[in-house]
Chain A
Amino acid sequence: MSDLSKKERMKIPRQIMPEQDALERSSNFKEVNLGYTEELAKMEALRCLQCPKPVCVEGCPVGVKIDEFIKLVSEGDFLGASAKIKEDNMLPAVCGRVCPQEEQCEAKCVVGKKGESIAIGRLERFVADFERNNVGLRTIEIKNKSGKKVAVVGSGPAGLSCAGDLVQMGHEVTVFEALHELGGVLIYGIPEFRLPKEIVKAEIDSLKNLGVDFKTNSVIGFTDTIDELLKDGFDAVFIAVGAGLPNFMNLPGENLNGVYSSNEFLTRVNLMKAYKFPEYDTPVFNVEGKNVAVFGGGNTAMDAVRTSKRLGAKNAFIIYRRSEAEMPARKEEVHHAKQEGIEFLMLSNPNKFIGDENGWLNGVEITRMELGEPDASGRRRPVAIPNSEYVIDIDMAVIAIGNGSNPIIQQTTPDLGYNKWGNIVVDEETMATSKPGVFAGGDIVTGGATVILAMGAGRKAAKSIDEYLKTI
């Protein structure tokens, strides 16, 4: 098979990944995508042209050797493929699921210029799952211990990838996490049906196997300040606390009962397992047979609205002020949401939330919008249509319009450089902050972005922390 001609390879259609039936899955929290079988994976891998200059790699924020791992998959050497990916990406089972490949590696794919690009994300996911399911997580023996200690603040994607690299470079790494569980947004934010928590736990366990020390219930700033970490024997600190302060729309009625931030709604359901209430103590508003509106057009909005459907919502709406073309969510997420019966109300802008006499939400007033000239973001600006206001009956609202920067580090470490939004200012090449030995990356630097960008920042920081440690 492997001596197929280019033409023959191009003839193989993109292999479809099996998924749970839409109707069935919209009432359970099990993973939607089921993953490739070995046969499907090999067939998909054969589609790869093995370009002499693999441009797909340029599209990957962490530079995974995509062509090389796909070749190994086509040869059936799945463990070899896994080892190849792990040279550049410590969390392939996560990235294979949540990376926006269609905008990154797959967007660059040469095969994709004429037809459909190679399903790189699905292959990455297959390879990572194959290793986990068949041989468990392997450990690498670390030689050449440096004797240097690094504190990583936050156990989300940026922190985990930085910790993984640093420990392999021979440094002693301690990761501090504010919550009682490790994983940051991978645990509290992204739902089980898109990223099973078991997979995140397995990836973290592999870091533990490498010797990374994890401390939960540690709110850096309060439990220890950055200065105290440096004084207490850490030679460097990497701050990766995420954005972590939900934005609201400042509309009348936003503090009515029944209005959540996406962070709160998703944290209750994912981290605190409110979908298993009352077996678990944390409640979430009961939406069975009710109307739920989620405001926003990103992946978090899709996660929230699909979660509400799974909790039994009768009608679940995405309400977004621009059109579908401007929605920042991944196409796959929008597609899955539509399959599950989510209704999309585009060009709709909320004016106010309406409550009953007891202060419970029962409606939202919407103005219809139309698209005008492009704005600063390059997207066409939504403009209100006069006298187009109408009210939708809703019982729960989720605001998913992004996050501001969490103030705890700033309040307790005022001598770092911050921009006007409270994000930490770093040298983009080295991720170094204005404070010697202190580095930062992920959403606390960029504002809300993606898992893979945060991981890329973590890896970049690990490299320059390693260099910094050699100088002290």
Chain B
Amino acid sequence: MFKILKAEFIAPSIKRFEIEAPKIAAKRKAGQFVIVRINETGERIPLTIADSDTIKGTITIIVQGIGKTTKELNNLSTGEFILDLVGPLGKPSHIENFGTAVSIGGGVGTAIAYPTAVALKQAGNHTISIIGGRSKEFVILENEMNEVCDEVFPTTDDGSYGFHGFVTQKLQSLIDSGRKIDFVLAIGPIPMMKAVAETTRPYGIKTVVSLNPVMVDGTGMCGGCRATVDNKTVFVCVDGPEFDAHLVDFETLTRRNIAYREMESESFEIHNCNLDKAIGEL
């Protein structure tokens, strides 16, 4: 059992958790993830570690309630417990002093981009971050990014805050302004990551994305998370989760990620029915 020491919403349906897990906190490196199983009937889902506090012995995960499990997670509060938590898993981000490094986060993806931005800064990069959201309230971790990055550009699709447009448009404008960009990390919804890959491809800028496929064990045992990179099959959990964006087959990734969508919504409806029933009985 793993205790939630702090849980708070930082954006609509996006919750930040500090969870007691001293071992994982001490070991985790940027880019690594944990597998979470909330309760006895729960599924195992991967969540990237956003931050850790080795003194308090906690890790931070930031969760957007989308499917049944993430919504259930977001119903948990400070003082409650998560049944199983295992990690840190996956290969850490490859960090070096590239020169100028841009970390791009789309929505909750900013939570995953954040630890790598920290590591890039520590490695001596001039660090820029572009953090996007549908509208102002979906732009997360701006203060945290400001603390570690040399430049931070919030963007919103609706123009309610920061740059009006997509993260790729901001990136393009940076490239167009003649700045030399040596490295790009992009994490967010698949269409966003694909768009970033296409933005940097003509310029040959090294670009890395972190993939978030369906996983079960997270240790290479099941092969469910396989993706196609450079026309070869990779297991994201042990070969990744970060890969060269210009080599990732995003179509296959998109398709495999929605394989259980119908079943998930069925499961979620039943979950909601039960919730309604439970509330009705109160």
Q: Which residues of A contact B (CB under 8 A)?
A: 178-180, 188, 216-219, 222-224, 242, 244-246, 248, 250, 254-255, 257-258, 260-261, 263-264, 267-268, 272-273, 277-283, 285-286, 358-359, 406-408, 411
- A261 with B222: CB separation less than 8 A: yes
Closest chain B CB from A227 CB (angstroms): 13
Q: Which residues of B (25-42) have their CB < 8 Å from a CB of A?
A: 27, 37, 41-42
B270 within 8 A of A: yes
| Contact between chains at B216 and A219 (CB < 8 Å) | no
Assuming the A-B contacts A222-B89, A255-B226, A255-B233, are A282 and B43 also in contact, with contact meaning beta carbons closer than 8 angstroms in the complex? yes
One of B68, B221, B227, B264 near A245 (C-beta < 8 A): B221
Q: Is B216 within 8 A of A248, CB to CB?
A: no
A244 CA / B216 CA spacing, docked (Å):
13
Residues of B contacting A278 with CB < 8 Å? 263, 266-267, 270-271
B-chain residues with CB within 8 Å of residue A279 when the two chains form the complex: 41
Interface membership of B203, Cβ < 8 A: no
Per the bound structure, the CA–CA distance linking A179 and B216 in Å amounts to: 10
What chain B residues lie within 8 Å of A250 (beta carbons)?
Answer: 233
In the complex where A248-B233, A255-B233, A255-B256 touch, is A264 in contact with B88 (Cβ < 8 A)? Answer: no
**Chain A contacts for B217, CB-based, 8 A:** 178-179, 188, 267
**Could you say which residues of chain A place their CB within 8 Å of the CB of B222?**
246, 261, 263-264, 267
> With the chains together, A254 CA to B226 CA distance in Å?
10
Are A359 and B263 in touch, CB under 8 angstroms? no
CB of B87 closer than 8 Å to a CB of A:
yes
Residues in A neighbouring B69, C-beta threshold 8 A: 281
Chain A residues in 8 Å Cβ range of B179: none
**CB <8 Å contact, A264 and B267:** no
* B235 CB contacts on chain A under 8 angstroms: 245
Q: Mark B1-44, 1 if CB is under 8 A from A, else 0.
A: 00000000000000000000001100100000000010001111
Q: Distance (Å) between the CB of B66 and the closest chain A CB?
A: 14
| Interchain CA distance A285-B259 in the complex, whole Å | 9
Point out residues on B near A: beta carbons under 8 Å: 23-24, 27, 37, 41-44, 68-69, 83-89, 91, 216-217, 219-224, 226-228, 233, 235, 238, 251-252, 255-256, 259-260, 263-264, 266-267, 270-271
Minimal beta-carbon separation of B264 from chain A (angstroms): 7
Q: Judging by beta carbons under 8 Å apart, are A219 and B41 in contact?
A: no
B residues less than 8 Å from A219 (CB atoms): 86-87, 89, 219
Q: Closest B-chain residue to A181, C-beta based?
A: B84
Beta-carbon contact of A264 and B223 below 8 Å: yes
Interface pair A217/B85, CB less than 8 Å apart: yes
Contact A248 B223, beta carbon cutoff 8 Å: yes
**Nearest 9 CB-CB pairs, A to B?**
A264-B222, A281-B43, A283-B263, A217-B86, A359-B255, A261-B223, A278-B267, A180-B84, A282-B43
Q: Is there contact, CB below 8 Å, between A223 and B23?
A: yes
Q: 17 A–B contact pairs at CB < 8 A?
A: A179-B217, A223-B23, A223-B27, A242-B221, A245-B223, A255-B227, A255-B233, A255-B256, A257-B259, A261-B224, A278-B270, A280-B43, A281-B69, A283-B263, A283-B267, A358-B255, A406-B219
